[in-house]
Amino acid sequence: MKIKLLLIAGVCILTTACQNQKKDSQKSFESIKSENHFDLPDSLSTRRISFVLDLKKSVAESTWSDFGTKNNEGTLIYFDEDRSEIFFPDSYVIKKLHNYKKHGNNYCLTERTDSIPYHMEVMISFNEEDSSEYFFKNPVEQYSSVEEIGKYIPSVESTEMWANMVVHEMFHHFQYNNENYAKYAESVIGILPFDSRNLIALCKEDEQFLTLIQSENNILMKAISEGNKDNRDSLITSYLDQREKRITKYGSEHPHLEQVENYYIIQEGSARYIEYHSMFILKSYFNNSDAPTILNDPKFNSFSEFEEIDLENSAFNYLVYAGPTDYHYTLGFNIMRLLDKLKIEYKKDLLNNPEKGLHQYLEDYINTLPNKS
């Protein structure tokens, strides 16, 4: 059995001016630290991580309550130049570290744990060849600093945009903290000779496959915006029919297509859904005198990127565009938005029953309609 899962978000200056603002900012940070009972040294990196954890809590309260059960999902590594800062290290990770300095139980500082220049992922491996690694059967979040991320994704110009990406990855960690989901990933998806790379290759190598995907996505988008129930139900039926025809057409050559696609639609679609709702938390902070801030962060931009969230705007259109490398993100995101519109509860079951595809919640809905034979 061989599987290594690298989960990467598909997401494509303010220094406080006066003493009162600095005091408010410091108070905001201290309240976060006190509330979460974290013993962290005071530094720019810890203030950024505390800000993200506060954002995680807020999006959980507004969108997905179980995501807020824990203050943090587990070990995360913040890469900054030649060092790695380990937040919330578990005993397994601690055993793998060398020459580290410990600050309480929630923080360690060590030399950079790898030479890879870019990190924005949750790393986990079920491959026995990786049994000596700290991420073997143990999900670990890994993030490059805001400054380093900007070198590879120029559009990420602020701590707030970086934080939104981090929340996406934290949700992946939350997924793997679910025993049923992790077991399914390891014992079912992980042993298949087909994965997300094959989905991407299929899109790139077969133009008709991608065209069909985009047609399905367009139907989902229409169903989300449709105000007439009968018309919306008709669109949902059309989507399910077209999806089934595509799976049937390509399934003979790729027998694991449906199972793998269903898995990644859940995995990435739900993380994108959290990312999207996180944006509205950040939007609520814009021009809000009570909004949290980050003391002495030159990359903090007062939430200006989130002043207006419009899915038709180029800055946010990636969320709903079904491209060849991330169509599973988009389909999952749009199905979840449609389920919300239909007022269908799915969040309690989604990770506990990962073998059930998101589209099946739509099928269940259609099968309950009157005159449905």
Domain assignments of the chain as residue spans, ordered by start? 4-206+245-367
DSSP H or E segment with residue 181 = helix 179-187
Strand order across the beta sheet in which 107-111 lies: 4-8, 120-125, 140-144, 76-80, 83-87, 107-111, 101-103
The pLDDT of residue 260 is above 80:
yes
**What was the pLDDT predicted at 38?**
75
Pairing of strands 140-144, 76-80: parallel
What DSSP designation does 136 have? B
pTM over 0.75: yes
* CB contact at 8 A, 260 and 199: yes
Residues 23-79: pLDDT tens digits?
A: 343 444 443 433 445 789 999 999 999 999 999 999 999 999 999 999 999 999 999
Can you give the pLDDT at residue 39?
82
Q: Look at residue 30 in the predicted model and tell me its pLDDT.
A: 40
Kindly state the average pLDDT of the residues 10-14: 29
pLDDT confidence band for 372 (50 / 70 / 90): low
Asked which of 3-12, 307-316, 319-328, 340-349 is least confident by mean pLDDT, the reply is: 3-12
* pLDDT for residue 283 is more than 80: yes
Hey, is 110 helix, strand or coil? strand
Q: What is the pLDDT of residue 11?
A: 33
